[in-house]
Amino acid sequence: MQQVHVQFPARLVKSLSLSSLPATSNLQQIASSQPKGVAKVVLKKGKTQLFKNGSPMVYSGAVDRIIGRPPPRTGDVVLVTDGTEKPIAWGLYNSVSMFCVRLMQLDEEVPRDPSCALNMERLLEMRIDAAIELRWRLGLPSANTNAYRLVNSEGDRLSGLIVDVFGESAVIASSAAWVEKHKPEIEANIRKVCDIKHIKWRPSVEILKEEGLDLSDLKETDPSTYPERTKVLENGISYAISMEGQKTGFYADQRENRQFISTISSGQKVLDICCYSGGFSLSAIRGGAVNVTGVDTSLPAVELARENIVLNNVDPERITFLREDATEYMRHALARNESWDIVILDPPKLAPRRKVW
């Protein structure tokens, strides 16, 4: 079996050792030492516990007042406090978004990681290192999977940032103004991940508009620095990925769901609605499905799915991909009295997770 060697950066070891420092600092002390001072976002009565419990985004309706002269600007570091102005956390401010602060570190965490307090560059380094270590502990990458989600927004406590790794390429999806502001630091940290040679940014334009970002500020990376297409492995299945495709080009967060489908598909007839590049369909075939039909309205998606049939040497008699509207397809299927053992449905923008019946 092929062995994959994953080497932790030396800075990861350093960050882990910092977490064992004794409790000597808190946000109030560190903020008072800042030469320019730090603005405070004061929460309304009864709202504090919600954010102490881990809710990562402070919505504008939870804010009582903002203290600071001049007032904070989008992207500034701010303290978030209770009604008595005692800090409970710090985060990044947005003067336009309904989420006026994205929390980065709680006051109770500061003694464990004092070097990160009010320091976005250091916190980014620490959080991305932690994400690398977590994936390593989960066995990613491996000999049969080199496509995976490295940073999962709130799941890795970097709200608004998603990073998917596809072999030697990484796709960064941004949906928060702070992510675009810290683009150089994020890229620098991602480039230190083993084997990453290409980085592509995929800003969520409509969301960033709501964040108050001027779209003219979204400077695209030179397209010559990353490939338009790449090939990856997930659970031993080969996939062609278009870097211009939906989301980051591949739904890396569905890896375990695709693996689950393969465990229940033996001898089954399967329908995959909104199939995109055929991830669930191919997983069903790998699991022993007798017949699979994938349906998608996007011609590029269907062409990619058909390419993946060839990549995996699948018998084309067992799997079919159709370019068709899902509603129309199901209406005709009803008229034909057609049925399936398993139906996978994920309408775009309507369902956050695949649903299986």
- Buried-exposed string 327-345: b where 16+ CB fall within 10 A, e elsewhere: eebbeeeeeeeeebebebb
64-91 pLDDT, tens per residue?
999 998 899 999 999 999 999 999 999 9
The residues facing 152 across adjacent strands are 162
Q: Percent of the chain scored above 90 by pLDDT? A: 80
Q: What is the DSSP string of 231-274?
A: EEEETTEEEEEETTSSTTSS-GGGHHHHHHHHHH-TT-EEEEET
- In CATH terms, the superfamily for domain 251-345 is Vaccinia Virus protein VP39 (3.40.50.150)
Give the whole-angstrom CA distance, residue 123 versus residue 90.
Answer: 11
pLDDT at position 350: 47
Which CATH homologous superfamily contains domain 27-117? PUA domain (2.30.130.10)
User: In this model, does residue 339 exceed pLDDT 90?
Assistant: yes
- What single letter denotes the amino acid at residue 57? M
Which pLDDT score is estimated for 346?
A: 85
Domain regions of the chain by residue span: 27-117, 121-231, 251-345
> Among 16-20, 138-142, 301-305, 342-346, whose mean pLDDT is lowest?
16-20
Q: How far is CA 277 from CA 65, 282, 303, in A?
A: 48, 9, 8
As a whole number of Å, the CA-based R_g of the chain is 23
pLDDT given at position 222: 57
The pLDDT assigned to 223 comes to 57
Query: Which pair of tokens denotes residue 17?
Result: 């050792």
Task: List C-alpha distances in Å: 208 to 99, 109, 310, 342, 347.
Answer: 12, 29, 38, 37, 23
> Which of the following CATH numbers is that of domain 121-231: 3.40.50.720, 3.40.50.620, 3.30.1740.10, 3.30.750.80?
3.30.750.80
pLDDT in tens, 89-106: 999 999 999 999 999 999
Average pLDDT over residues 188-214: 91
DSSP 3-state of 210: helix
Q: Give Cα 113 to chain centroid, integer Å.
A: 24
What are the pLDDT digits (tens) for 204-248? 999 999 999 887 766 665 555 778 899 999 999 999 999 999 999
DSSP reduced 3-state for 81: strand
With bands split at pLDDT 50, 70 and 90, how would you rate the model's confidence at 357? very low
Is the pLDDT assigned to residue 202 strictly greater than 70? yes
Averaged pLDDT score across all residues of the chain: 89
Contact status, residue 235 vs residue 259, Cβ threshold 8 Å = yes
Phi, psi (deg, nearest 5) at residue 139: 85, 25
Give the predicted TM-score (pTM) of the model: 0.87
The least confident of 187-201, 255-269, 272-286, 298-312 is 187-201
